[in-house]
Amino acid sequence: MTKHVFVTGGVVSSLGKGLTAASLGRLLKCRGLSVTMQKLDPYLNVDPGTMNPFEHGELFVTEDGGETDLDLGHYERFIDENLSRKSNATTGSIYSQVLANERSGEYLGKTVQVIPHITDEIQRRIMSLAGEDVDVVITEVGGTVGDIEILPFLEAIRQVRLRVGRENVFYVHVTLVPFVGPSGEQKTKPTQHSVTELRSRGIQPDAIVCRSPEPLDDHLRSKISNLCDVELRGVVNLPDVGSLYEIPPMLHREGLDEQVCRQLGLDGRPVDLDEWNELVERVAQAQRVVRVGIIGKYIDLPDAYLSVVEALKHAGFDQGARAVIEWISAEEVPRHIEEGTLRSLDGIVIPGGFGERGIPGKIAASAFARENNIPCLGLCLGLQVMVIDYARNVLGLEDANSSEFDPMCANPVIDLMEAQRDVTDKGGTMRLGSYPAVLEADSEVARLYGSLEVSERHRHRWEVNPNYHDALSDGSLRLSGRSPSGELVEFIELATHPFWVATQGHPEFKSRPTRPAPLFVGLMEAARHRADGRAPRLIDLEAVDA
Ligand code: GLN
């Protein structure tokens, strides 16, 4: 029987509810349990695919091409499992389904209502993740208790307890215990109010995770226990920590996983946190600062590139280095080149994106990195601008461009493939999710992956134009990885450069703290070399065995 843990949030948003849920997931996995996770989002967008990254942060792509909330990235990185599009449900997607059912007559003429139709659909989504091979589903309810939009979700998770039995459900409530006043007194009142609100919806939390700047004292713990009617051991303190990787061990010391297991009758094995503790140790020891510039369009909201930043950190830990991110606005690249900022960097990432803004700056950054031996990694749009830079500045095709930015250009080195050209509904034409690639045996990318058959997640429409493959690969540029049919370019690299590599995919989505993404490791390896002040190095590439 699959057990369910529900995580709700109180008092304010941005308390780290997702990280708390993900950390609990990791702890349960470390007890040998199979865990999957889900995020229920109260907003009305059908999925986050069309949401502005300026506003909502990164869009996280799953293996099966789901365009999901960035919290799924935290889940995957912490529990080290691939999730699917089923792991993210929004109010919009739930209503769409119910309305479609209504149109097709499924409700047999009944009045369609929030209760039971919407709440049933929410439960169907939750239950769809349960199964024989899943011990625990952890479901995070987005938003804050007290929000109007959250009510159907609270009602649904209350009903799940009735459906599957009390002994199979555990409710965690994450709240804030602020310091107030000149003397910095810790206040429990907001937590009490939030729990009262939750109880008014019929949900009594089994554990309260108290977020606070400093650890809670014992007196406060008993006060919260007493007033919120939660066992003392259910009052879990999670003060601010230096690195987010410290959260799982901290929750474990506070006994959260033990309480969940005891109450749910999950006699798991003892927690094996060795791998995670090694990671925490590696993080603490990674002191060598390596400065990597992200040439971005959405730099005012760094969450827009969350997985890229995480992947850089993971690769840093692997290289004993601490990745320090320098945010460079693509539009200001010329100034940064002039002032020497770009030259002072140890490495550069040109990340993914849409639309024309900032493109000249990205092309200039690619050229500067190429000409000055600065390690440079291009991701998706990054690959496209690096190809444009090469075509213009090395091959001399001055008007080379992407037809995304100049539909009339004479040399569209980046173009839509035939099948996509006539489709007017752009939403349906993206190459989304995991796609395989075949690498050339003696390439830098094959060395880094240690394999010739790889796959990465995608989210884009434009491709390197097959009409230019020959011209592009005539000199020092290598099209070192392609789709199995050979038609699509998946990886490029420059043979005469320490690291100038790009991919049409988004390897950042598959990077895990304990298993960094190979291309990011390659970038950090070369960037660390540069940070150490050593001369640019060219690696002798030997053929990787298939
Ligand atoms: N705009 C480009 C395309 O659609 C790149 C997309 C991206 O970087 N994710 O192909």
Worst-scoring range by mean pLDDT, 281-290, 386-395, 462-471? 281-290
Choose between 305 and 51: higher pLDDT. Answer: 305
Q: For residues 270-283, give the mean pLDDT.
A: 92
The closest of 303, 298, 359 to 331, measured between CA atoms, is 359
Task: Please report the sign of the dihedral spanned by the C-alpha atoms of residue 216, residue 218, residue 220, residue 224.
Answer: positive
Q: How many Cβ atoms are within 10 Å of 436's Cβ, its own excluded?
A: 12
- Predicted confidence (pLDDT) at residue 538 exceeds the cutoff of 80: no
Task: Please give the torsion angle defined by the CA atoms of residues 276, 237, 222 and 136, in that order, rounded to the nearest 10 degrees.
Answer: -60
Whether residue 129 contacts residue 38, with contact meaning beta carbons closer than 8 Å, is answered with: yes
| Residue 391 Cα to ligand 1 middle (Å) | 18
Burial class (CB in 10 A: 0-12, 13-18, 19+), 19: buried
Active site includes 380? Answer: yes
Q: What is the pLDDT of residue 528?
A: 94
What pLDDT, in 10s, does the model give residues 343-353?
Answer: 999 999 999 99
- Predicted confidence (pLDDT) at residue 424 exceeds the cutoff of 60: no
- Predicted confidence (pLDDT) at residue 403 exceeds the cutoff of 70: yes
Q: 463 CB under 6 A from ligand 1? A: no
d(CA 226, CA 493): 62
Q: Is the pTM of this model over 0.95?
A: no
- Catalytic residue, chosen from 326, 508, 525, 529, is 508
Q: 429 CB under 6 A from ligand 1? A: no
Q: What is the pLDDT of residue 268?
A: 67
- Predicted confidence (pLDDT) at residue 216 exceeds the cutoff of 80: yes
Closest ligand 1 atom, residue 506 Cα: 9
Q: 530 CB under 6 A from ligand 1? A: no
**Long-range interactions of 519-522: CB distance < 8 A, separation 24+:** 519/377, 519/445, 519/448, 520/311, 520/312, 520/314, 520/315, 520/377, 521/315, 521/318, 521/319, 521/448, 522/377, 522/444, 522/445, 522/448
- Predicted confidence (pLDDT) at residue 363 exceeds the cutoff of 70: yes
The closest of 160, 171, 80 to 124, measured between CA atoms, is 160
| Residue having the nearest C-alpha atom to atom 3 of ligand 1 | 460
What pLDDT, in 10s, does the model give residues 223-234?
Answer: 999 999 999 999
At 8, which amino acid appears?
T
Alpha helices in 372-437 (DSSP H): 381-393, 418-421
Q: What is the pLDDT of residue 544?
A: 67
Q: 459 CB under 6 A from ligand 1? A: yes
Q: What is the pLDDT of residue 428?
A: 56
| Residue having the nearest C-alpha atom to atom 1 of ligand 1 | 354
How would you label 447-474 residue by residue, b for 16+ Cβ within 10 Å and e otherwise? bbbeebebebbbbbbbbbbeebbebbee
Q: 505 CB under 6 A from ligand 1? A: no
CA 501 to chain centre: 22
Q: What is the pLDDT of residue 423?
A: 60
DSSP-derived 3-state class of residue 423: coil
| Residue 95 Cα to ligand 1 middle (Å) | 29
d(CA 77, CA 457): 15
Residues in the chain: 546
- Catalytic residue, chosen from 74, 314, 380, 456, is 380
d(CA 530, CA 526): 6
Q: 142 CB under 6 A from ligand 1? A: no
Closest ligand 1 atom, residue 380 Cα: 8
Q: What is the mean pLDDT of the chain?
A: 93
Whether residue 288 contacts residue 320, with contact meaning beta carbons closer than 8 Å, is answered with: yes
Q: Considering the chain, what percentage of its residues have pLDDT values greater than 90?
A: 82
Q: 53 CB under 6 A from ligand 1? A: no
Q: For residues 19-27, give the mean pLDDT.
A: 97
Query: Which residues, including other chains, have CB under 8 Å from residue 407's CB and lie 6 or more apart?
Result: none
| Residue 123 Cα to ligand 1 middle (Å) | 35
Q: 359 CB under 6 A from ligand 1? A: no
Q: To 5 degrees, how large is the angle CA 59–CA 63–CA 65?
A: 60
Q: 404 CB under 6 A from ligand 1? A: yes
What pLDDT, in 10s, does the model give residues 167-202?
Answer: 999 999 999 999 887 777 888 899 999 999 999 999
What phi, psi does 512 have (nearest 5°)? -125, 150
Active site includes 210? Answer: no
Q: Considering the chain, what percentage of its residues have pLDDT values greater than 70?
A: 97
Question: What single string gives the DSSP state of each residue in 195-232?
Answer: HHHHHHTT---SEEEEEESSPPPHHHHHHHHHHHT--G
CA 164 to chain centre: 31
Whether residue 262 contacts residue 295, with contact meaning beta carbons closer than 8 Å, is answered with: no
| Residue 463 Cα to ligand 1 middle (Å) | 9
Closest ligand 1 atom, residue 379 Cα: 8
Whether residue 504 contacts residue 463, with contact meaning beta carbons closer than 8 Å, is answered with: yes
- Predicted confidence (pLDDT) at residue 546 exceeds the cutoff of 60: no
Q: What is the pLDDT of residue 53?
A: 74
Whether residue 296 contacts residue 378, with contact meaning beta carbons closer than 8 Å, is answered with: no
| Residue having the nearest C-alpha atom to atom 8 of ligand 1 | 352
Q: What is the pLDDT of residue 54?
A: 73
The closest of 83, 71, 78 to 249, measured between CA atoms, is 78
CA neighbours within 13 Å on the CB side: how many for 233?
10
